[in-house]
């Protein structure tokens, strides 16, 4: 049985905030990418922050979906930030050097003001 993620969106200034809860894995990566892309299509001028505070794990497939979202935003000349990753998730972002490509902040408030 596939695991699910809980995904809610909110707005903070020019930022669209995607609040994610659960795990980002092979089973959930496509749902994440599609739902984020759909929300961005409704509001194409917005930058995006993925709130990872409630993401308990991410695998290589999940990292791939985050990078896909980054590429979509890059094509639109918009920004992506990752907020509040837990220790294990932050370590994986560092190990894969995604922290050199995508801005990582300690909290949503830090990026959205």
- Which residues are registered as beta bridge partners of 82? 50, 104
Q: Which of 76, 77, 89 is nearest to 20 (CA)?
A: 89
State pLDDT tens for residues 70-81. 999 999 999 999
pLDDT (0 to 100) of residue 19:
98
CA distances from 7 to 50, 66, 99 (A): 10, 14, 22
pLDDT (0 to 100) of residue 45:
85
Strand (E) positions, the chain?
6-12, 15-24, 47-58, 80-83, 103-105
Question: pLDDT below 70 — which residues of the chain?
Answer: 1-3
The predicted model scores a pTM of: 0.94
DSSP per position, 17-33: EEEEEEEESTTTHHHHH
State pLDDT tens for residues 32-46. 999 999 999 998 889
Instruction: Spell out the domains of the chain, with CATH numbers in brackets.
Output: 6-112 (3.30.750.24)
């Amino acid at each position: 049985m596939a695991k699910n993620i809980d995904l809610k969106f909110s707005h903070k200034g020019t930022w669209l905030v995607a609040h994610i809860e659960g795990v980002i894995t092979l089973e959930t990566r496509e749902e994440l990418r599609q739902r984020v892309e759909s929300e961005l299509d409704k509001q194409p001028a917005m930058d995006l922050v993925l709130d990872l505070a409630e993401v308990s794990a991410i695998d290589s497939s999940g990292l791939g979906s985050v990078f896909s979202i980054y590429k979509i935003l890059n094509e639109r000349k918009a920004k992506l930030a990752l907020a509040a990753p837990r220790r294990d998730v932050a370590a994986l972002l560092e190990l894969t050097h995604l922290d050199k490509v995508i801005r990582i902040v300690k909290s949503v408030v830090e990026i959205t003001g």
